[in-house]
Structures are given as C-alpha cells and as structure tokens.
C-alpha cells in the first residue's frame, strides 16, 4: 500500500507516476458548480497542499481508493479533517488551510468513501468501515499519530476512529456532530425528519426543492434566492454520484442506534455547535458533553446553524486553532464551557 500523487505536480516538480481520480460528469454550457470546484482546488494548491490517492489492500475482485489532500511531506503536527455530507472535502475545508498551516499544523483532508474521488466496491457501509479505511490511508501516508476534526457525518467517523485507535488519535474536535443520537429520537420529534428514509431524502438531495430545504435547515441566513438552474447544476456536478451508497451510509448510521452502545472515548474532546442547529439540535451537544464528562468541553457558536463550519468559518477555525495551541500547555484543563 502506498500513497501516490493523484495529479501532475506543480511546475518545477518531478513528474511522479499518476493515478487519475474519477472525473465528474461534464455539464452542458457553463457550469457554476464546476467553476467553483476548480476555484476551491486551486485554493488547496496555492496553500501548498497536493492531491494523493491511496489504494488500499482489498480482497480479489474489489477495489478501495482514498483520495486526499496533504502537504507533500507532512512533518509537523498532523490534523485530519473529515467532512460531512454534501460536496467533496475541498468545498468544506478550503477556508481553514492557511490558518492551520500558519499555526504549525499539517492538515490532511480526505474524501470519505463515496464522496469526491474516494470509492470502494466493498459492501460495508458503517462508520466503523469508514474509520478503518481512513486509518489505513493515514498509514499509507506514513502518518502514525494525529489529531482529528470531524464535521457532522465526519464527526461520527472521527469519534469511531478515536475509539478504535486510541494509540493514533491524540485529540478530537467534533463540529455539529450528533454522535449521541438514537434512532428513537426521530420518532420522538427531535429532528426535522421522522424516519431514516426522510433523512436520506434531505441529506442526499436529488431535486432543487430538496436542496432548498436542506440549505434552509442548515444555515441561519440562507441565500434569499436559489434559482433551480443553479441547484440542478450543483446536483449534476457535485451530488449525482454514489447516491445509493450514500443512502446506505445513512441507514447504517441511524438504524437501531442507541446511546448505550456508544463507547466513551478517552481523548480530550472539543465539542463545537451552532446555537441554532436545526439538523442536530443543541440537546445532542449537551448529551455528548454529559456522555464524555470532564474530558470534554462545549463551545457554542452564536448566530450559526448546522453548517457552522461554513457559515462562521473564521470563528470556528479560530476555535480549532486555539484548542490545538492550548493543548501544548499541559497546565490547561478541559473543564468549563465557552460561549462564543
């Protein structure tokens, strides 16, 4: 198993063997989503990040490839950034790169399986499978110990990694991640959806109306106008791949989920939550804080919803950077709650 550059390097660098990531389907005429995707990829390149593909050992006749972005030679303090449902990792983490790098941290940003250019032909769909796959990709990059930041669904994977690999994961940040949810919460009316099927329609939208509903639920200040043309373009470019697999991920995540089955991780954990989160209400933040006890701290971001990492990217990025810089001082305890 080895990580190889996924694309041609920047000018002036030697040409390595290439494994091209899956290309997105072409769009007719001009595509705003495709242009945005190119712009965000350029931001990754300009920050000094490079794309890699890690092909993992798989049973005969199967294939698993993890696409990720990382500094060419991660040598400082690695921080694994795990995205949530939605577009690929570049869309969710681009605003964070320069601040993290300036703070002496090396961000490593994978596409989780069935998002972006990461894929697998294996039938597993659990967050345990995602955690095992990401850990294998980190091993392929030669990164043995790291902190992890997970947003929403990425937080489920981050939490599972911390439980499965305590020797590798040194510190955890969970942003808007309802890892303490139970399946019975849906029927009890805690969420804007009543069952797993409706959750899948919301988080894996196929029509403009579904994207509008998702945006209005995740942002405190959604765009006032969302033309169907732009939403169809976004679905076609960024949201039309692996629909069945993503739906199965959600069913695996929620079906028969119970808090009593959730292990208690031992790493210091920062919980970051948008005060007006409608997807994972604040009750889940407090539930997680109680579950982890004194080993955790809750930071509430005001005037932010579920997409706090996008809506308040500067504030959330500063919270994350301050947390990792603070961790270098052993005299600082985890106790107390911050309100931003």
Instruction: Please spell the DSSP secondary structure of 152-210, one letter per residue.
Output: THHHHHHHHHHHH-TTTEEEEEEES--TT--THHHHTT-SS-SSHHHHHHHHS--SHHH
Cβ atoms within 10 Å, residue 214: 22
What is the span of the domain harbouring residue 192?
A: 49-325
Please indicate, yes or no, if residue 43 is contained in any of the structural domains.
no
* 124 in Cβ contact with 160 (< 8 Å): no
Using DSSP, state whether 340 is helix, strand or coil.
Answer: coil
pLDDT given for residue 4 in this prediction: 59
* 161 in Cβ contact with 142 (< 8 Å): no
Please indicate, yes or no, if residue 36 is contained in any of the structural domains.
no
Non-local (6+) Cβ contacts of 252 within 8 A are: 125, 126, 127
CATH number at residue 171: 3.40.50.1820
**pLDDT tens track for 257-291:** 999 999 999 999 999 999 999 999 999 999 999 99
- Res. 339: pLDDT tops 50: no
Decide which of 189 and 180 is more confident. 180
Please indicate, yes or no, if residue 27 is contained in any of the structural domains.
no
Using DSSP, state whether 19 is helix, strand or coil.
Answer: coil
**pLDDT tens track for 97-114:** 999 999 999 999 999 999
Please indicate, yes or no, if residue 44 is contained in any of the structural domains.
no
Please indicate, yes or no, if residue 116 is contained in any of the structural domains.
yes
For residue 192, how many C-alpha atoms fall within 13 Å in the half-sphere facing its CB? 16
pTM for the model: 0.88
**pLDDT tens track for 187-234:** 888 888 888 888 888 888 889 999 999 999 999 999 988 999 899 998
Question: Rounded to the nearest 5 degrees, what angle is found at the Cα of 133, between the Cα atoms of 127 and 134?
Answer: 90
Please indicate, yes or no, if residue 8 is contained in any of the structural domains.
no
| Number of domains within the chain | 1
pLDDT above 70 coverage of the chain, percent: 87
pLDDT given for residue 175 in this prediction: 98
Non-local (6+) Cβ contacts of 67 within 8 A are: 6, 21, 51, 52, 53, 54, 110, 111, 116, 117, 118
- Dihedrals phi, psi of 222, to nearest 5 degrees: -70, 160
pLDDT given for residue 338 in this prediction: 45
* 116 in Cβ contact with 240 (< 8 Å): no
Decide which of 38 and 26 is more confident. 38
Exposure string of 254-264, with b = 16+ CB inside 10 Å and e = fewer, is beebeeeebee
pLDDT given for residue 20 in this prediction: 41
- Res. 13: pLDDT tops 50: no
Q: Which of 173, 174, 175, 171 is nearest to 330 (CA)?
A: 171
pLDDT given for residue 137 in this prediction: 97
Give 26's DSSP letter.
P
Q: How far is CA 283 from CA 176, 179, 309, in A?
A: 11, 12, 19
Cβ atoms within 10 Å, residue 211: 20
pLDDT given for residue 11 in this prediction: 32
pLDDT above 90 coverage of the chain, percent: 71
Cβ atoms within 10 Å, residue 144: 11
Strand 105-110, strand 64-70: pairing: antiparallel
Evaluate the CA torsion angle 213, 279, 182, 80 in order and state its sign.
positive
Please indicate, yes or no, if residue 184 is contained in any of the structural domains.
yes
- Dihedrals phi, psi of 250, to nearest 5 degrees: -65, -45
**pLDDT tens track for 41-85:** 999 999 999 999 999 988 888 999 999 999 988 778 999 999 999
Please indicate, yes or no, if residue 77 is contained in any of the structural domains.
yes
Beta strands in the chain (DSSP E): 3-5, 50-56, 64-70, 77-82, 105-110, 119-120, 146-151, 169-175, 269-274, 296-301, 338-339
């Amino acid at each position: 198993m080895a990580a190889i550059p996924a694309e041609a390097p920047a000018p002036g660098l030697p040409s390595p063997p290439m494994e091209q990531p899956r290309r997105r389907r072409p769009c007719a005429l001009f595509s705003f989503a495709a242009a945005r995707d190119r712009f965000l990829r350029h931001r990754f390149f300009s920050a000094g990040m490079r794309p890699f593909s890690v092909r993992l050992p798989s049973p005969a006749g199967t294939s698993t490839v993890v696409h990720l972005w990382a500094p060419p030679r991660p040598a400082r303090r690695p921080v694994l950034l795990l995205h949530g449902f939605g577009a690929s990792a570049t869309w969710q983490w681009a605003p964070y790169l320069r601040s993290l790098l300036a703070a002496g941290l090396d961000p490593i940003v994978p596409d989780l399986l069935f998002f972006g250019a990461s894929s697998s032909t294996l039938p597993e769909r659990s967050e345990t499978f995602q955690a095992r796959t990401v850990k294998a990709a980190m091993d392929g990059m030669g990164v043995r110990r790291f902190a992890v930041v997970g947003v929403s669904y990425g937080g489920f994977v981050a939490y599972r990694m911390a439980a499965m690999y305590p020797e590798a994961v040194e510190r955890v940040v969970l942003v808007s991640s309802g890892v303490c949810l139970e399946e019975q919460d849906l029927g009890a009316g805690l969420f804007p959806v009543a069952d797993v099927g409706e959750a899948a329609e919301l988080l894996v939208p196929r029509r403009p109306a579904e994207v509008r509903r998702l945006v209005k639920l995740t942002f405190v200040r959604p765009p006032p106008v969302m033309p169907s043309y732009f939403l169809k373009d976004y679905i076609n470019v960024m949201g039309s791949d692996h629909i069945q697999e993503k739906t199965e991920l959600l069913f695996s995540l929620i079906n028969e989920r119970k808090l009593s089955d959730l292990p208690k991780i031992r790493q210091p954990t920062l919980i970051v939550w948008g005060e007006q989160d409608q997807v994972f209400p604040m009750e889940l933040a407090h539930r997680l804080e109680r579950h982890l006890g004194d080993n955790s701290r809750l930071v509430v971001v005001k005037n932010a919803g579920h997409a706090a990492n996008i809506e308040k990217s500067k504030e959330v990025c500063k919270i994350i950077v301050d947390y990792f810089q603070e961790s270098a001082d052993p005299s600082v305890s985890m106790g107390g709650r911050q309100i931003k």
